[in-house]
A and B are shown apart, each in its own frame.
Chain A
Amino acid sequence: MLALQLTITGLQTGALYALTAVGFSLIFGSTRIFHFAHGATFIIAAYLFYFMDISGYGLFLGIVAATAGAIAFGLLLNRFVYVPIQRDEGSFFTVFVASFGIGIVVENVVGMIFGRGFVTIQTPLSFSTEVMDGLFIAPLSWISILCAAAFFGILWCFLKFSHMGMSLRALADNPELVRVFGLNPRFISACAFTIGSILVVPAAIISGATSGLNPAMGHHVMLISLAATIVGGIGSVTGTLLAGLVLGLAESLALLYVDSQWTEAVTFAILFLFIMLRPSGLLGRSAAH
């Protein structure tokens, strides 16, 4: 029964990991921008929702504010940091450092406003009920899994059928060709940032209610997103989704054998094994070099 309980918790965690990681993977896969401040987007969305919640604006306005904040942050960062850097040279390292610096700024600004401790978004949805003998499930578990399924369904249709979705995939394959075709790569990049930032919002809000928030958790979010992107295979949205679920399940099921402080070590072990044995990931096409 414990194993089943942990599997369900793991699926819930995995669904949230997958949402965050796919956001990063989509941005990185199509624009090749190493968006390390993705963790900061998570923090901004989560704390905006938390702020709206404690000020009593209600669920809907909270979601709107979190989404708007996440999109605005993604787009502004792209416009005022990544675009100027890429105009000159745009090596992986320069983009990474700039993005990392912005992440530090966000973490500390949020820490100064809301304090450095853990805060939790209060909701009756996080109370568990006994579904079966010894099996406790909170409504939020179903909400996160359904939410992830819905978002991925929409994303899949979007990438597969819409014109912009095709352009995104084209940009990932060959940016030169996109330019030759008369499409505007910069506009497509902005779309990638919008979608990638939106995907973070549900994960940020639900995590805030289940496991709580603190300003420094951006690094953890980033480790998970990076791990899922690499384990899934860079450039593969489906791979990242699978990897996110696997990482969530593995972290949760590991509790059968080790104490909870080792869960991040499990993520790291999986990532390390993949880097050593299969750098192209589960569904990736190209090798690491």
Chain B
Amino acid sequence: MEAYLLNLVILISIYSILASTLNFIMGYAGIYSLAHAVFFGVGAYAGTYAAMHVNASIFISLPVAMVAGAVLSLILALPALRVRGEYFVAASLGLQVLAVTIFSEWKSVTGGIGGLVGIPPVNVAGLDIFKPGQFVFLTLAALVIVLIIINRLVHSSFGRSLRAIRDSESAAAAFGKNVPLIKTISVVISAALAAVAGVMYASYLSFINVESFKLDTSVLIMAMVIIGGTGTQAGPIVGAALLLLLPSLISYLDFLPQTEIGAIQQIIYGLGMALLMIYRPGGIIGRKKHSSAGKE
């Protein structure tokens, strides 16, 4: 039971990092990305590569992963600067599809479809952390640091510029804001922090393959943000916890077919997304009938 709870807390923290970083570009900059799992994956693969070939120290793998995520996010920033809304959804969907192909084909780095096994435990200042009881503190610490960074950014002038861009890009530009630069920085920050979640995930499971970084994951992360509440700070965490608790809740309900837990989970959050948009577009945490995101 204790191991089960620890596992759940670790996964919820990792997904909370992902959801919060996606919310940073979605809720505050109005960039609706269906490619967030790409940066999760890039972080996991880059961190693993560093850990297996250079050094398992967190002070090596984490920066490597963050830099890799940040550099690759420029590919996402490029279309985000030119277009928004439906165009960007299409571009990010394409990027996600392309990334899955690369993850499964670039065998020397990603291990192909089989993935990478035997990832060394993360090493913090000479101490190998692999027991769930210790690892949970590491992921919680990572989550808190990520949340603090995002919180500082959102409440700085940078965050105000972001919201201004979300609500009206031309107005922000007219006020002398450097719109392309601000958008690029927000995407880079979001991707670099999402890569942190990738490093945690890889060293926790000590095994990764492309299955964890597919479109389904991007959709799940987006659902967490939306169901929790776009543009709020607590929303993504509530969403992540809720959606990850869902499979275990379903398994308590005996009348549901247990082999279809994954499908039932997806049906529930799919319906949840549709119903929330009709009755409460702000999400669970968001204000009722108020569009905190998505003003064109």
Contacts and interface: CB of A to CB of B under 8 A. Distances in A.
B86 interface: yes
Given A261-B105, A275-B83, A279-B87, A267 B272 contact: no
Q: Is the interface of A mostly helix, strand, loop or mixed?
A: helix
A89 B84 CA distance: 19
B274 A102 contact: yes
B296 interface: yes
B219 interface: yes
Contacts, number: 140
Interface residues of B, number: 46
Given A93-B32, A96-B32, A288 B83 contact: yes
A53 B171 CA distance: 57
A108 B270 contact: yes
A13 to B, nearest CB: 17
Interface stretch (A120-128, A135-143, A151-159, A219-227): A219-227
B179 to A, nearest CB: 11
Interface in B73-103: 78-79, 82-87, 89-91, 93-95, 97-98, 101
B86 A109 contact: no
Contacts of A99: 274
Interface stretch (B180-188, B242-250, B260-268): B260-268
Nearest to B169: A289
B95 A268 contact: yes
Nearest to A110: B263
Contacts of B89: 34, 96, 226
A81 B267 contact: no
B274 A81 contact: yes
Contacts of B215: 219
A268 B226 contact: no
Contacts of B95: 268
Contacts of B276: 97
Interface string B260-296: 1001101101111110111001000000010101111
Contact of B78 (A88, A95, A104, A276): A276
A58 interface: no
A142 to B, nearest CB: 30
A272 B79 CA distance: 8
Nearest to A266: B98
Contacts of A226: 86, 89-90, 93
Contacts of B274: 81, 97-99, 101-102, 105
Given A91-B294, A92-B85, A101-B277, A271 B94 contact: yes
Contacts of B264: 108
Contacts of A105: 266-267, 270-271, 274
Interface of B: 32, 78-79, 82-87, 89-91, 93-95, 97-98, 101, 104-105, 169, 215, 219, 223, 226, 260, 263-264, 266-267, 269-274, 276-278, 281, 289, 291, 293-296
25 contacts: A81-B277, A84-B278, A85-B277, A85-B281, A91-B294, A91-B296, A92-B294, A94-B281, A94-B291, A96-B32, A96-B86, A97-B274, A98-B273, A104-B266, A105-B270, A108-B264, A219-B93, A230-B90, A234-B86, A261-B104, A262-B101, A267-B94, A268-B98, A275-B83, A275-B87
Given A219-B215, A227-B94, 13 more contacts: A88-B281, A96-B32, A97-B226, A101-B270, A104-B219, A105-B271, A108-B263, A108-B267, A223-B94, A230-B86, A261-B104, A288-B84, A289-B84
